[in-house]
């Protein structure tokens, strides 16, 4: 078995997870079906590694792990773990996890980075559902010190041991929670962001003022709407729809402000504009 991880999806989350692992000396095989995305990924990871070093969130004396890329799974996967970090859509995650299970070594732990879809639902794609666990890495993964780990109904002790061992190697704290739509963090945070966006849409306050009040009065570190831009407004809309459907809570339906921004391609930091404007 190869000592390293395979990351599926070379977008914002995939490259962030790759950065975290590489910065801790773990090799990463990064896969995305889009050749243009794969071509850009190494330079994005290098930029994120520099940012992580400036933040002091990587070991100073650690030699970087190697990065390899591909556009297909290939014939087999024998890395220590596979981390699925693709779009927050059940049908896509279900399909790719089933494909991975068919070619991954039986000792390889399978991880989904879903922020809202129950692990038990995704595990139905696997012939051995006990192999799957969730890690909500959050963004940027290399700057966050604690991760939510989701244990499905069928997730085995061996899988949990391997997942927590991986996070130990990454010098990250694991907080294990039971499976549920949105788990803990998304179930609390995403409806709050939705409410903040609705306040902006109603003209009660600007995004800047909402965030200033949440930071100054309630101690939120960045403010909900700047956090939304970091998450990606498209990912946020997908997650809110999952919560609304699984919890049967129409209050979680994404508000019109979020939907309109996504329609206009204003997705947050990754597109250069969302509730705020970003350079570079």
- The set of catalytic residues is 136
Other beta carbons within 10 angstroms of residue 175's beta carbon come to 11
Asked whether 240 and 194 are in contact (CB, 8 A), the reply is yes
**Among residues 167, 164, 158, 220, which one has the least CA distance to residue 195?**
220
Residue for token pair 């309109």: 260
What is the Cα–Cα distance from 175 to 115, expressed in whole angstroms? 14
Q: Which residues are documented as binding site for NAD(+)?
A: 9-14, 32, 88, 93, 115, 139, 270
Counting beta carbons within 10 angstroms of the beta carbon of residue 72, is it exposed (0 to 12), middle (13 to 18) or buried (19 or more)?
exposed
C-alpha distances out from residue 172 to 11, 21, 46, Å = 22, 11, 21
Is it true that the peptide bond before 140 is cis, omega within 30 degrees of 0?
yes
Tokens read off for 60: 């100073």
């Amino acid at each position: 078995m190869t000592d390293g991880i395979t990351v599926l999806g070379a977008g914002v989350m995939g490259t962030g997870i790759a950065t975290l692992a590489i910065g801790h000396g773990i090799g990463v095989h990064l896969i995305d079906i889009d050749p243009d995305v794969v071509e850009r990924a190494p330079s994005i990871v290098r930029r994120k590694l520099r940012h992580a070093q400036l933040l002091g969130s990587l070991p100073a004396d650690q030699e970087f792990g190697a990065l390899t890329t591909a556009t297909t799974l290939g014939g087999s996967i024998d890395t220590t773990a596979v981390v699925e970090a693709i779009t927050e859509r059940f049908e896509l995650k279900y399909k790719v996890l089933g494909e991975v299970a068919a070619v991954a070594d039986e000792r390889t732990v399978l991880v989904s980075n879903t922020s809202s879809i129950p692990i038990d639902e995704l595990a139905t794609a696997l012939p051995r559902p006990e192999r799957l666990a969730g890690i909500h890495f959050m963004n940027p993964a290399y700057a966050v010190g604690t991760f939510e780990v989701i244990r499905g109904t069928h997730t085995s002790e061996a899988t949990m041991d391997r997942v927590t061992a991986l996070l130990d190697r990454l010098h990250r704290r694991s907080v294990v929670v039971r499976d549920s739509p949105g788990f803990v963090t998304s179930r609390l945070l995403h409806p709050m962001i939705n409410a903040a966006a609705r306040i902006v849409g109603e003209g009660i306050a600007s995004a800047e003022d909402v965030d200033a009040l949440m930071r100054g009065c309630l101690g939120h570190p960045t403010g909900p709407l700047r956090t939304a831009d970091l998450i990606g407004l498209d990912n946020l809309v997908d997650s809110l729809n999952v919560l609304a459907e699984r919890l049967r809570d129409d209050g979680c339906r994404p508000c019109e402000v979020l939907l309109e921004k996504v329609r206009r391609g204003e997705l947050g930091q990754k597109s250069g504009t969302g509730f705020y404007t970003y350079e570079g």
